[in-house]
Structure 1
């Protein structure tokens, strides 16, 4: 009888130790799974980039994306698109310094330069497109060729201005600043809409 009692006690102690070990292993497994879940969540959040809306790259009539000619500067600064950044800069026009704003995607160096007129309230006066990411509905943008421009935009005049050689389309309210480096420098004042070489590259686009 005593042997049976001792055997029962030893059996109970063994089972208790076994159950305790299983509980510890279960807790360790649960903690590891919890840590793994947290790590995975952090990685997912860091990997989610902010992509600008495609509509912000469209050059339209008197506007580029959601920036429009005549828009109050305060309003323009308040509605910077997701994925964009804006920085103040200074331009020199007709011997006078004026404030302008460079708006561009956060992962790009170039974008659009927004010029203002303050008479008396500061509003968007002109938009200078510097990046080839921006296109008109016809697919024309920076780095397009002059021959491509002529297919969709009637050029009324070609003039040599402070910004360079500019092909003006009054009908579209848009001007194309051309790369004049490959043109005869002594003839820059003589070019007409018909005599500009078709392969001349567009360097920037002005919306006004």
Structure 2
């Protein structure tokens, strides 16, 4: 009888040991090997290529005037996001695209022209992150703009004060909030106050 009890105890201990070892094996097997997990930290902190923020004639980063909209959407770079929006141009609704760094509220606005296919027609630069090769961007002064580019004319059109630089392929929308009506009505490239700021760049 005693022998049977001892045998039962030993059998129970042995089974418990086996179950314990099995549990450890299962936990070890189910625990992921950290060294084999994909490294997402780099992806989460990835920053867009600085070249994407260069404003040029007929181009901002990798978005070019005349390129197919489908191509533009396919090549959105890491660190940038794209969102469709709707504009009203002379009473006509038109689809446009906001392309911006994921951590910033502003970027560029891409307008399209559609016949058989839709292509990039015009690009509006709204963020100071984007600059021309000469360092001119949103927030630069008119004086800095004059030093960098030849301003052909400055006109007041549809509520905007526009400095036109044809050789650069760009127009610069100036913040005219501090100007009086009489100043605006007689404005020219020579009379624009030097400290007026650029609030938008049009690339065409």
- The two structures have a TM-score, normalised by structure 2, of 0.80
| Equivalences for residues 80-95 of structure 1 within 5 A | 80-95=76-91
| Equivalences for residues 59-74 of structure 1 within 5 A | 59-74=55-70
Q: Identify which of 113, 120, 126 aligns with 2:122.
A: 126
Deviation at 1:157, TM superposition (A): 1.2
C-alpha distance in structure 2 between counterparts of 1:187 and 1:169, whole Å: 21
* Equivalent residue, structure 1, for 2:171: 175
Q: Identify which of 89, 92, 99 aligns with 2:95.
A: 99
C-alpha distance in structure 2 between counterparts of 1:151 and 1:96, whole Å: 38
Structure 1: which 5+ residue stretches go unaligned?
1-23
| Equivalences for residues 1-16 of structure 1 within 5 A | none
* Equivalent residue, structure 2, for 1:58: 54
Which structure has the greater CA radius of gyration?
1
| Equivalences for residues 1-208 of structure 1 within 5 A | 38=34, 45-46=40-41, 48-49=43-44, 50-162=46-158, 164-208=160-204
Deviation at 1:168, TM superposition (A): 0.5
Structure 2: which 5+ residue stretches go unaligned?
1-19
C-alpha distance in structure 2 between counterparts of 1:194 and 1:131, whole Å: 27
Q: Secondary structure at the match of 2:184?
A: helix
Deviation at 1:105, TM superposition (A): 0.8
Give the count of matched residue pairs: 194
Give the RMSD, CA atoms, in angstroms. Answer: 3.3
C-alpha distance in structure 2 between counterparts of 1:143 and 1:91, whole Å: 24
Q: Runs of at least 4 residues of structure 1 off by over 4 A? A: 34-37
- The two structures have a TM-score, normalised by structure 1, of 0.79
Deviation at 1:93, TM superposition (A): 1.3
Deviates more, 1:46-55 or 1:197-206: 46-55
